[in-house]
Structure 1
């Protein structure tokens, strides 16, 4: 497997553990709809949380969370709409980003709750 894919999977596992430690329930992982993939779909306090995980080894091109651009937000929103429809969810939803910056075997994690609200 390519190194960037290994890094991504490692980041997603760290993010999942982080969410579980905070009391989130994981509903789905790597859920796809069309061209979109939602890394983690979680549940806490009657809210469905669509979580995008971004893992990087450096900041030469920006912080990991900077890579969740408008196009990605639109894809996530479309996937979320379908998921909400399929689950018949009538409550709140939220879009979070978990940013992980690796430095060797160490890392820093930034959990940005309510990171964006996609526009139409």
Structure 2
């Protein structure tokens, strides 16, 4: 499976996981000024900007370890643009949904309020 297919599969699994955990999915792959937010969802009146990281194995470490300060900075820039277009949100948070694909057994880790 190539990198693009791995990412797409991970985002699909992430979207399903969020819906199973009572999130309402608002946007997928939302773009602003060459920055992208993988998923935007809400739950309990909180807007969640979610970075999805998917890996096929641990050769490069856990998926969540790939979300660094630079990535969070870009996520915040895009989130600011989203909020100018949707100013009704008062409570927001930045999350990481890490997915490790392993055949029929996938590991999903949800890290809340990381930024």
Per the normalisation by structure 2, the TM-score is 0.94
2:101 is paired with a residue whose SS is strand
Is the contact made by 1:96 and 1:111 (CA closer than 8 Å) also made in structure 2?
Answer: yes
Q: Which residue of 2 aligns with 1:75?
A: 74
Deviation above 4 Å: which 4+ runs of structure 1? none
Residues 9-88 of structure 1: matches in 2 within 5 Å? 9-88=8-87
Distance 2:61 2:55 in 1: 10
Q: CA RMSD in A?
A: 1.2
Structure 2 alignment gaps of length 5 or more: none
Distance 1:59 1:107 in 2: 13
Q: For this pair of structures, how many residues does the alignment match? A: 115
Residues 100-111 of structure 1: matches in 2 within 5 Å? 100-111=99-110
Q: Give the superposition deviation at 1:104.
A: 2.5
Q: Give the superposition deviation at 1:90.
A: 4.1
Per the normalisation by structure 1, the TM-score is 0.90
1:23 is paired with a residue whose SS is coil
Distance 1:82 1:46 in 2: 19
- The superposition leaves residues 61-113 of structure 1 with CA deviations (integer Å, 9 ceiling, x where unpaired) of 21101111111101000000110111013411011111000112421111111
